[in-house]
Structure 1
Amino acid sequence: MSSPTSTNQEAPPRAPRSPASALFRRLFLLNGLVFTTGLTALALSPATVSSPVLLNELPILAVGLAVMLAVNALVLRASLAPLGALTVLMERVDLVRSKDRIASSGNGDLGRVIDTFNAMLDRLEAERSSSAAHALAAQEGERRRIARELHDEIGQSLTAVLLTLKRVVDRAPGELREELSAAQETVRASLDEVRRVARRLRPGVLEDLGLISAMNSLATDFSALSGATVTRLLDSRLPQVSGDTELVIYRIAQECLTNIARHARATRVELSLRAEDGAVVLLITDDGVGGPIREGAGIRGMRERAMLIGADLAVESAPGRGTRVRLTVPVLETADPAASAADP
C-alpha cells in the first residue's frame, strides 16, 4: 500500500514587493492617516458647518484644509527627500574618479532603492577596475615588446650602420669625408633617440634600481628635453609597495612631465615623492601657463591607473598659476588589485 501523500505542502515563498508598489502603499497610508486625522478632529470639534456654508464658517474650513495640506506636504517631503540626493548623484557620478555613495536614510522603501543603487555602483566600479587592469596590463606588455624590438632589432641595425660608416669614413677621400661624417652623426642621433624611446616604453631603471632612481632618471630626461629646472624632493625611506604600484606612480609622473613639456611652457618644476600619514604622495607642480583642465586621454589614463591601486588623483590648475597634480596612494597590507591582471 502506498503511503498517503502529505496535504501540508509548503507554500511557495512570496515575492518581495517592488520598491514602486511599496512606496505607493506607504504614501497612500500616510495620506489616508492625515485626512482621517483631519476629519476626526473636525468631527469632534465644536465647530459646525451649515448648509449652505455661511461666510463666517469659511475661515474655519480654510484653516482645517491648510493644516491638512501642510501636514501632508511635510510627510511627502520627508518621504521623498532621498530621491533628490539620488538624482544629484546620478548626474555627477563618474566610475573613474567617484567614490560617492548615498548614506542609507532608513526611509524604508526608498532606503532599499538607495542600497540597490549603491550596490550597482560598487559592481560597475569593480567591473571597470578589472577591465582597466587587464587593458593596462596588455598595454604594458605591448610597450615591453615594442621596446625590446627597438633595442634588439632597430638599435642593433643602427649600430651596425654606424660602425660601417666609421670604416667608410676612415677610407673615404677627403671631399666625401665631411658628408659621410654628417651621415654618421645623423645615424648616431637616431640611435640615441631610439634608445630614449625604448627607455620611455620600458623603464628598465625602475625594474633594476627601484622607484627613486627611476624618478631621478625621469626628471633628468625631462630637464634635458624641455630645458626647465626640476627641483627633486624624493624620500628614499618610502614604505614598501608592490611593483605594480611603483609602475603606476612612475607612469603618472611620466605623463605629467610629458604634458608639462608639451603644453605648460614652464621654467620650473617641482617633483616630490614622500611618505605622508600612511600613504605615498606624489606631487608635481609647475609655473606654466595653467588654465582650464581638459579631461583628455592623458588625464583620463592617469585616473584609470590611480583607480587600479585605490589611489586618489587631484589635478588643479588656474590661468597663469601653473598646474598641480597630487597622487595619494594608500599603503595597505592587501594585494595590489592590478597584480592578478598583470600575471601571465
Structure 2
Amino acid sequence: MDVALSERDPEGMRDRDERPVPPSALFRRLVLINGLVFTVGTLVLAVSPATVSSPVLVTEVPVLIIGLIVILAANALLVRSSLAPLDALTAVMQRVDLLRTGDRLSDKGNGDLAHLITTFNAMLDRLEAERSESSAHALAAQEAERQRIARELHDEIGQSLTVVLLGLKRTVDRAPEELREELHASQESVRACLDEVRLVARRLRPGVLADLGLHSALIALSTEFSQVSGIPVTRKVDSGLSGLSEDTELVIYRIAQESLTNITRHARASTVTLSLGEHGGRLTLSVTDDGRGGVMKEGAGIRGMRERALLIGARLTVTSSPGSGTEVRLLLPG
C-alpha cells in the first residue's frame, strides 16, 4: 500500500514525511514545569546560607539530600497534576463501547490536554456514526434476506407440503383398512411439518406487523410465545399507538421477539410481562420475566438488540440480578 501511494503521489508523500511535527502543549508544559522547579531550586541555593565544600563534608550530605527530595517532590506533584486528565481519558478508553453511546470526557479545566480530549471525543462521535451507518446497512440486508427466505418457505416448501398432504388424504380414502393407521401417522407428520414451516416463516417476516400494526403484532407474538413455551404472558400494550415510523415499529417488534426468545432459551421463567406505553412522556418497551436472572455477559442476541436500538436513537438497558429475573427496557427518544 505504501509503495502504491508513493508511486501515485511521491511529492505529496515526501512533503508529509518531512514536515516537522510541532511540539505539543503537554511537552511545553512539562519543560516549563521542570525549568521552573530547577530555577527555583537554583535561586534557593543562591540566596540561602547553605554552602557545599569540596570535597563534600559529612554534615553537608543531609542538606543535599533534603534539597533533592524537595525538588523531586515538587516536580512530581506538578507533573502529576498536569497528567491527571490522562488517567480519566484512559478510563474512558477502557470502558468505551460503541453500542453504549454518549460516554464522553469533559474538556473543561484540563488545560493543555483539552485539545487531546476534544479530538478523542470527536473520534468517538465519528466511530459511533460509522458504526450506526454500517449496522443500518447490515440489518436492512438481514431483513431483506429474512423476507426472501420467508417467501420461499411459504410459497415453495409450504405449497409442496400442502400438495403432499392433499395427496396423502386421497390415498388414505382409497387405502385398505390395515394401511390407514400408518398413512394417518404420515399425514399428521406432514401437517406438523407444514405448521412448523409456517411458524418459521411468520417469525422471519412478521406480516401481521405490516397488515394490522404494532399492537396486534405484539399480541400475536406473545400469544405464539405462550403456545410454544407454555409460559403465560401478561400484556400491557397501549392500543393508542400512532405516528410511529415503519423502522421504529420493526425495531420494537424485533427487540420484543428477541427478548422472548432469550427467555425461552435461558431464563427458566414461569411468568412474563410485556408492556409498551408512555412512561414519563416517552414511549417505553419493557419485557420482564421472573426467571433465574444473573446475566453477566452479553451475547450476540443482546448486542443485536443494542444495534437495532441505535438505529432509531433509542436506549436499551438490561437489568438482571441473580434469582430476580431479567428486564429488557427500550426507551425511545422523546
TM-score range, shorter chain: 0.7 to 0.9
Between Structure 1 and Structure 2, the one with more helix by share is: 2
1:28 aligned residue: 31
| Bigger RCO of structures 1 and 2 (CA < 8 A, at least 6 apart) | 1
1:314 aligned residue: 317
Deviation at 1:160, TM superposition (A): 1.9
Task: Return the letter of the residue paired with 1:136.
Answer: L
The CA deviation string for residues 100-120 of structure 1, in whole angstroms up to 9 with x for no partner, is 111114434322121111111
With structure 1 as the length reference, what TM-score do the two structures score?
Answer: 0.83
Distance 2:163 2:52 in 1: 113
Q: 2:73 aligns with which of 62, 65, 70?
A: 70
Distance 1:228 1:107 in 2: 55
1:296 aligned residue: 299
Worse-matched range after superposition: 296-305 or 230-239: 230-239
Distance 2:292 2:186 in 1: 39
Q: 1:211 aligns with which of 194, 211, 214?
A: 214
Deviation at 1:40, TM superposition (A): 2.5
In structure 1, list runs of 5 or more residues that go unmatched: 1-14, 332-344
1:280 aligned residue: 283
1:9 aligned residue: none
Is contact 2:268-2:291 (8 Å) kept? yes
Report sequence identity in percent: 68
Is contact 1:238-1:275 (8 Å) kept? no
In structure 2, list runs of 5 or more residues that go unmatched: 1-18
Is contact 2:275-2:286 (8 Å) kept? yes
2:268 aligned residue: 265
Q: 1:115 aligns with which of 115, 118, 126?
A: 118
Query: Which structure 2 residues correspond to residues 1-344 of structure 1 after superposition, within 5 A?
Result: 18=22, 21-45=24-48, 47-49=49-51, 51=53, 64-238=67-241, 240-331=243-334
Deviation at 1:165, TM superposition (A): 2.1
Aligned to 2:332, the other structure's residue is in SS state strand
Worse-matched range after superposition: 55-64 or 85-94: 55-64
Distance 2:93 2:205 in 1: 40
With structure 2 as the length reference, what TM-score do the two structures score?
Answer: 0.86
Deviation at 1:317, TM superposition (A): 2.1
Aligned to 1:294, the other structure's residue is in SS state coil
Distance 1:195 1:130 in 2: 33
Distance 1:273 1:16 in 2: 59
Q: Check 1:62–1:305 CA distance in 2 against 1; reply closer, same or farther (3 A cut).
A: same
Distance 1:22 1:266 in 2: 58
Distance 1:159 1:181 in 2: 15
Task: Return the letter of the residue paired with 2:229.
Answer: S
1:337 aligned residue: none
